[in-house]
Amino acid sequence: MDDSTRRRFIKTAALGTVAAGWLPDPIPRAIEGLARVRPSQADDVTVLNPAGRVPISLIIDDSTCLVNLAYYGIPQFREVFPSQYPQPWRELPREIPDSFVRTFGEWCHEHGVKGKYSIVPYPACVGWVDRFLPGWSEQELRESLRLVRELMLPDWDIHPEMISHTRVIDIRTGRPFPEASPAYMENWEWSQTKSADELAEYMAYALRILKNVDLPCEGITTPGGFGSRNQSNLALGTLEAVRDVYGAEIPHYFRDVIDEGEESVAPRIFHASGLDGPDPRCAVHIVGCTGDWFGGWDGLTPGSVDRFITEDLQGGRLVEVIDRGEPAAMVCHWPGIYYNGEEIGFNIFKEVVRRVHARYDNLIWLKLSEIARYWAARELTRIERVGGRVQFRAPFAAPRFTVRMPSDRPVVPHLSTGGTSQPLTEARSILALTSGTWVREADSVIVCFDLPKGNSYVELHPMTS
């Protein structure tokens, strides 16, 4: 079964793929009810990528504590669509052990890899990560959660993937609705007609489970087709739920993939409001740029390194996306990374990382929350140019904020924040940019600084001999 039945993969040519009983829409260009609030930005000032580097990230779906979601999920999907899930699920391991989590997490930390790691709160209705998982001891669950907190949290955002990733849960009782049909599966129809408040209530239930075990969340991952035809309410529901449960400043979510073609994979900013007031708001939709070409969502479909980046380093989807300067968020599923103990997906990922760094020296690994923050600041900061001064009115702070501004004479940029002004340090090249530095170009300067929330400005002072 192709994963397009579980998550909507946008194809530029076909604008969608048929998914288990319905045809999803493409990512909406303008969703009714979504006012595109965007402040003015000076035409001759360009916001660049953070520190002039291209963000790269890994999105891990279907992960949780101990439970192999493929083993427990496939029979539930088969009950709804008997002919479409033929996998021999009984042959799969029921557990993805913490020893693999440690191996994977330590390798990624050593190589600077960052991204998003799901913790499904009630995985496939097996048990609750804040209570108990039948088949595992209380100590095993406690140690598994501690491993996530200590090893994964520094480099990975934690997301719930709704509540169960299979059956819709009646949040009044904590039990699945009795009907096993698309109308009561998280992957399919249930979410398509719900209001923003109803979706927020459901997502908040999932978030509170993770909060109970001290896992911070700034975002949500949707299971399969969840909310694919209801994106305005999905975005607003995410905004409400994440702010309500965690107080996160910039909620984000992962819902869609564009794995081919020229359509932009840059994050989408939804429901921006209050940008000039004390309580600015928005939701950021992070878009994946690859399919799962590692080991599949079921751990039964070996992938290909070359689809990401070819052996000669000249082709592949990552090359297409990175070369145009957009965030390269790869998508995988935890059962396929583990690949039933063979680690086929993990080994493919290792080679992808080796190849991508062999070709590029201008990448920056970021968590999804870091990408979301930068894009919110990038699109929602008011930028005005008055002579040699560029003024910023930012609803959200952002580290390594980087802009190019015109200059046809020798200058030294000064950053002014909070009533103080200080000169920035000249860097040797764009690749040497860090916060508080700048680099000269033929007819412009590029400035990198930590953008504060509120007002600040960069002034170009004439260079003195």
Segment 331-388, tens digit of pLDDT: 999 999 999 999 999 999 999 999 999 999 999 999 999 999 999 999 999 999 988 8
Cα–Cα dist 414/313, whole Å: 40
User: What proportions of the chain, in percent to the nearest 5, are helix, strand and coil?
Assistant: 30, 25, 45
Is 184 found in the same domain as 287? Answer: yes
Residue type, 275: L
pLDDT the model gives residue 394: 98
Tokens coding 299: 């751990």
Is 397 found in the same domain as 259? Answer: no
Q: End-to-end alpha-carbon separation of the chain, Å?
A: 69
Do residues 268 and 258 lie in contact, with contact meaning Cβ atoms separated by under 8 Å? no
The structural domain count of the chain equals 2
**Is 416 inside a domain boundary?**
yes
Is 74 found in the same domain as 178? Answer: yes
pLDDT tens digit sequence for 222-255? 999 999 999 999 999 999 999 999 999 999 999 9
Q: What secondary structure letter does DSSP report for 455? A: E
Is 437 found in the same domain as 299? Answer: no
pLDDT the model gives residue 11: 40
What does residue 329 show for φ and ψ, rounded to 5 degrees? -100, 100
Do residues 139 and 146 lie in contact, with contact meaning Cβ atoms separated by under 8 Å? no
**Is 93 inside a domain boundary?**
yes
Do residues 286 and 329 lie in contact, with contact meaning Cβ atoms separated by under 8 Å? yes
**Is 306 inside a domain boundary?**
yes
Is 395 found in the same domain as 308? Answer: no
**Is 41 inside a domain boundary?**
no
**Is 278 inside a domain boundary?**
yes
Global pTM exceeds 0.85? yes
State the DSSP H helix or E strand holding residue 109, giving kind and residue range, or none if neither: helix 98-110
Domain boundary among 374, 393, 426: 374
**Residues 6 or more apart whose Cβ sits within 8 Å of residue 324:** none
**Is 5 inside a domain boundary?**
no
Residue 431 belongs to domain spanning: 382-462
pLDDT the model gives residue 36: 65
Closest CA to 201 of 161, 245, 166: 245
Do residues 220 and 241 lie in contact, with contact meaning Cβ atoms separated by under 8 Å? yes
Is 447 found in the same domain as 303? Answer: no
Is 394 found in the same domain as 361? Answer: no
Is 191 found in the same domain as 166? Answer: yes
Do residues 76 and 124 lie in contact, with contact meaning Cβ atoms separated by under 8 Å? yes
**Is 26 inside a domain boundary?**
no
Cα–Cα dist 321/316, whole Å: 9
**Is 13 inside a domain boundary?**
no
Domain boundary among 345, 374, 403: 374
**Residues 6 or more apart whose Cβ sits within 8 Å of residue 412:** 423, 424, 426, 460, 461, 462, 463
Is 440 found in the same domain as 292? Answer: no
pLDDT the model gives residue 465: 60
Is 438 found in the same domain as 357? Answer: no
Cα–Cα dist 280/274, whole Å: 4
Domain boundary among 374, 402, 419: 374
State the DSSP H helix or E strand holding residue 253, giving kind and residue range, or none if neither: strand 252-258
Tokens coding 142: 């406690």
Is 386 found in the same domain as 239? Answer: no
Which residue numbers in the chain have pLDDT < 50? 1-6, 8-35
Is 323 found in the same domain as 196? Answer: yes
Closest CA to 457 of 407, 410, 409, 387: 387
Q: How many secondary structure helices (H) and strands (E) does the chain include?
A: 10, 22
